[in-house]
Amino acid sequence: MPIRFIPKPQSRPGLVAYLTVGDPDLTTTRDIALAAIDAGADVIELGVPFSDPLADGPVIQRASERALRHGTTLGDVLAIAADLRRQRPDSGLVIFSYFNPILRFGLERFCSAAEQAGVDGVLVTDMIVEEAGEYLASLERHHLAPIFLAAPTSPDERLKRIAAVSQGFVYAISRTGITGTQQSLATEAEALVSRLRRYTDLPIAVGFGISNAEHFAAVGEFADAAVIGSALVRIIEQDIERAAPQEAPSSIGRFIEGLRTGPRAPVLQVR
């Protein structure tokens, strides 16, 4: 069955952790993901490195460049997913990609391989709901949950369409623009979540710019989960810059544990 996240009253937010696969290398990516899960991440987003990541800020762009220099492929991402599914069978696993790598791999082939690997859902950042017919049909055949991005600038009719086809959760972008950490959360995020709740009872995860425990707690006041990406990737980058990439798993684990030390417990479970 596709992923289904179950909100628990007064125990939010859940945590969705993004990692660029292959940065700094495949083995370390796996170890980082395991450390993140063990520290409290409910869902791991496995980012497929891409040469032209227009929606991503400089931190994730650099991570993609490093991963591609190592020769990381979509097949490698799927192999990491299969390994994580074997080792942490109850964790949520989402493939996060641009459409081009999937198109080159073959949409049907990708969906079949993702199903075999135990992937729960797929988020294609440049896939728009209005043009997603074939994509959605292939995901449905292979029991994969489609996850779409909802932006503050999206009109209500578009939010309604996104809500209608989404499974697992809806990803609400906290602000327009590219990914990256920021000092404070955009006020647009809460308003967007409120608008989305008119159209869905799925959990809503807020991402783009969440980078510390204060942000994490603030998101829990109005959303079901927080997506943290650039902050994690930057921690990994700092360990690479210190010539200590082997320390990245423990660095990520400590960071996530720090987010979890407040009064809020995980809200999301996978079944």
Active site residues: 45, 56
How far apart CA 256 and CA 212 sit, in angstroms, is: 9
The burial of 71, by beta-carbon neighbours within 10 Å (0-12 exposed, 13-18 middle, 19 or more buried), is given as exposed
H helix or E strand, kind and range, residue 227: strand 225-228
> Could you tell me the two tokens for 217?
């707690």
> Could you tell me the two tokens for 122?
């797929």
Alpha helix segments (H runs only) across the chain: 26-39, 58-69, 74-87, 99-105, 107-117, 133-141, 156-165, 188-196, 213-219, 230-241, 248-259
Phi, psi of 202 (to 5 degrees): -65, 150
> Could you tell me the two tokens for 115?
């199903």
Q: What is the DSSP letter of 142?
A: T
Tokens 């591609």, located at residue: 68
User: What is the end-to-end Cα distance of the chain in Å, rounded?
Assistant: 8
